[in-house]
Amino acid sequence: MFHKVLVANRSEIAVRVMRALRELGIRSVAIYSDVDANAIHTHYADEAYPLSGNHPKETYLNIKKIIDIAKNANVEAIHPGYGFLAENPSFAYACEKEGIVFIGPSSRAIELMGNKVVARQTMKRAGVPVVPGSDGEVKTLEEAKAIASEIGYPVLIKASAGGGGIGMQVVQKPEDLERAMEHTVATALSAFGDAGVFIEKYVTNPRHIEFQILADHFGNVIHLGERECTIQRRHQKILEESPSPVMTPELRRQMGEVAIRAAQAIQYVNAGTIEFIYSDGNFYFIEMNTRIQVEHPVTEMVTGIDLVKEQIRIAAGEPLSVRQEEVRMYGHAIECRINAEDPLNNFAPSPGKLLGYRSPGGVGVRVDSGVFTSYAIPPFYDPMISKLVVWGRNREEAIRRMQRALYEYIIVGPNTNIPFLKAVLANERFQRGEFTTHFVREESTLLRETARILLEEHPLQEKLQRIFRVDKKMAAAAAAAQAFLHHYENLSQGE
Ligand code: ADP
Ligand code: ADP
Ligand code: MG
């Protein structure tokens, strides 16, 4: 086993990885940008080294700086977390070259799965069902038109190098193809430095269901069941759960086998996720994420398996600690991503100081966070404050417990999406488990409910401000919620 590991990340995921290291008796090394000099991950680690600067490019994305620190600190391995360099094949390669273990798959596997077109082709060859679409990248408008009419509209134009839902365009009819192509090409070039695009059939009312897999260096590959990630906004996940409300033991066996086959097809090693689009009993591979995912805790809650510890053990050359037959899913887990953002202002990021903070607790509640009272959420990175995860014996208990935990959550200062999450959890369709990826857009009352919840909470917020001795004008927030409701009512009357 390793003695010392560097965590090339920040905030909640850096702390999450360091927790696993501590339990395994391994020394942890943090790296930090200027604004993170007093972040939790910096102080949690046994050693910490400055990156100097704040912009991701000069800090958490700077391969040279990170490798230099790793060498000077004499670490045996690096854990990349998610985001930043986690899916950057050059970083994994730089580690391999320096004799530092990258806690993740090989640079070759990252590269193969990092390009969605190559991933599709590889999976197709391995007998994994993929969404109907172009065989390779689409270079010309003529080619695009031919493929689109062959598979039938609507189609989806995607960036080969895409991620984070960036650049995707739905095209309903041939006349709109040219503009959408141009748009995705331009976005792909500026966001990923790669103009390659391809076409997929747009599955109209799908769910997003993904499978967690683990693979060691001895050829053992297992799956840990599914995560339902259908509740999304702009192709980005908001709330995740396990198991999926539509899962049956037979479907899980089928999808799990396909996920394992997908991993085996590329001799994948370490933790990974196979993402599927699911519709009416059919499922299709969309991509593989070659890293630990934001939503991994829901799998940990229902299986009892510490995914990050498994990642570290695998990277150290140990065999998987569980066999497929030993994996049991028990109860139900839900995760909410708690973000500093303003749901009533188009979810604009709301960075700034946490003037008062108290996280929920009690039976079945887990909070993964990198914050504390007086911590200022910097504007340079993700505005995620924490991940709130609950476990219950069944979905109904998990929902009630999440509602109870959200009720307990105290955040004074930045705006958060908590009122919006409360509106989602109270929604009848959500409670029945009957939703598709269009849920947020279709449920037009969610924002009105959010505004109503905000107004209802206003006296409590004022009280909290007095308790935390915060001198901030709350009247503006209440007025904004009120104005939103008025506007909404006028709109409804006009219908
Ligand atoms: P997950 O299913 O783990 O949430 P995401 O695709 O949302 O997967 O990405 C995980 C992390 O990586 C998030 O913090 C997200 O902000 C970041 N991320 C993903 N893709 C991009 C991208 N193209 N540009 C910047 N950040 C990204
Ligand atoms: P990213 O790398 O940006 O995460 P994905 O291919 O995983 O890209 O797609 C992100 C989301 O977009 C999915 O979770 C799903 O909601 C939607 N999506 C992707 N492909 C399709 C498709 N073929 N049809 C319908 N929706 C899709
Ligand atoms: Mg995805």
Q: Is the pLDDT of residue 172 over 90?
A: yes
Asked whether residue 259 is domain-assigned, the answer is yes
pLDDT of residue 494: 52
Instruction: Answer yes or no: are the C-beta atoms of 447 and 488 closer than 8 Å.
Output: yes
Mean pLDDT calculated for residue range 267-274: 98
Q: Is the pLDDT of residue 475 over 90?
A: no
| Cα 237 to ligand 1 centroid, rounded to whole Å | 10
- The pLDDT tens digits of the residues spanning 359-375 come to 999 999 999 999 999 99
Rg (CA), the chain: 23
- The pLDDT tens digits of the residues spanning 9-59 come to 999 999 999 999 999 999 999 999 999 999 999 999 999 999 999 999 999
Where in the sequence numbering do the catalytic residues fall? Answer: 291
Asked whether residue 111 is domain-assigned, the answer is no
For a mutational test of ligand 2's pocket, the pick from 117, 134, 168, 232, i.e. the residue with the most ligand atoms closer than 8 A to its C-beta, is 168
Q: Which one is predicted more confidently, 283 or 475?
A: 283
Q: Is the pLDDT of residue 493 over 70?
A: no
Q: Is the pLDDT of residue 406 over 90?
A: yes
**Displacement of CA 269 from its chain's centroid (Å):** 21
Do 40 and 96 belong to one domain?
yes
| Cα 137 to ligand 3 centroid, rounded to whole Å | 18
Do 265 and 378 belong to one domain?
yes
Do 86 and 22 belong to one domain?
yes
Question: How would you label 371-402 residue by residue, b for 16+ Cβ within 10 Å and e otherwise?
Answer: beeebbbbebbbbbbbbbbbbbeebeebbebb
Do 244 and 164 belong to one domain?
no
Instruction: Answer yes or no: are the C-beta atoms of 391 and 405 closer than 8 Å.
Output: no
DSSP three-state, residue 286: strand
Do 321 and 235 belong to one domain?
yes
Q: Ligand 1 in contact with 293 (CB < 6 A)?
A: yes
Which of 201, 220, 242 is the last residue in one of the domains? 201
User: Can you give the CATH number for the domain in which 351 is found?
Assistant: 3.30.470.20
Around ligand 2, the residues with Cβ closer than 6 Å are 131, 156, 162-165, 200-203, 206, 208, 232, 235, 275, 277, 286-287, 437
Say how many CA atoms lie within 13 Å of 357 toward its Cβ: 22
Do 357 and 222 belong to one domain?
yes
pLDDT of residue 479: 77
| Cα 248 to ligand 3 centroid, rounded to whole Å | 23
pLDDT of residue 495: 44
Asked whether residue 229 is domain-assigned, the answer is yes
Q: E strands within 136-234? A: 155-159, 169-171, 197-201, 207-215, 221-233
Q: Is the pLDDT of residue 468 over 90?
A: no
Q: Ligand 1 in contact with 163 (CB < 6 A)?
A: yes
Do 94 and 140 belong to one domain?
no
Separation between Cα atoms, residue 189 and residue 184, nearest integer Å? 8
Q: E strands within 165-280? A: 169-171, 197-201, 207-215, 221-233, 236-242, 270-279
Which of 62, 87, 103 is the last residue in one of the domains? 103
One-letter identity of residue 69:
I
Do 161 and 212 belong to one domain?
no
Q: Ligand 1 in contact with 382 (CB < 6 A)?
A: yes
Do 244 and 177 belong to one domain?
no
> If we measure between CA atoms, which residue out of 192, 202, 157 comes closest to residue 178?
157
Strand 197-201's sheet: what is its strand order? 169-171, 155-159, 197-201
For a mutational test of ligand 1's pocket, the pick from 57, 82, 85, 230, i.e. the residue with the most ligand atoms closer than 8 A to its C-beta, is 82
Burial of 261 from C-beta contacts in 10 A (0-12 / 13-18 / 19+): middle
For a mutational test of ligand 2's pocket, the pick from 113, 147, 277, 282, i.e. the residue with the most ligand atoms closer than 8 A to its C-beta, is 277
β-bridge partners, 31:
49
pLDDT of residue 466: 82
Do 195 and 211 belong to one domain?
no
Q: Which one is predicted more confidently, 273 or 495?
A: 273
Q: What is the count of structural domains for the chain?
A: 3
Asked whether residue 468 is domain-assigned, the answer is no
Mean pLDDT calculated for residue range 64-76: 98
Do 54 and 192 belong to one domain?
no
* pTM of the predicted protein model: 0.94
| Cα 478 to ligand 2 centroid, rounded to whole Å | 36
| Cα 345 to ligand 2 centroid, rounded to whole Å | 25
Say how many CA atoms lie within 13 Å of 50 toward its Cβ: 7
Asked whether residue 492 is domain-assigned, the answer is no
Query: In sequence order, which residues have a C-beta less than 8 Å from that of residue 378 and are 6 or more positions away?
Result: 35, 36, 54, 351
Residue 458: pLDDT band (50, 70, 90) is confident
Domain hosting 375: range is: 207-417+430-438
| Average predicted confidence (pLDDT) for the chain | 95
Asked whether residue 108 is domain-assigned, the answer is no
Do 270 and 411 belong to one domain?
yes
Ligand nearest the Cα atom of residue 115: 2
Taking CA atoms only, the protein residue closest to ligand 1 atom 19 is 164
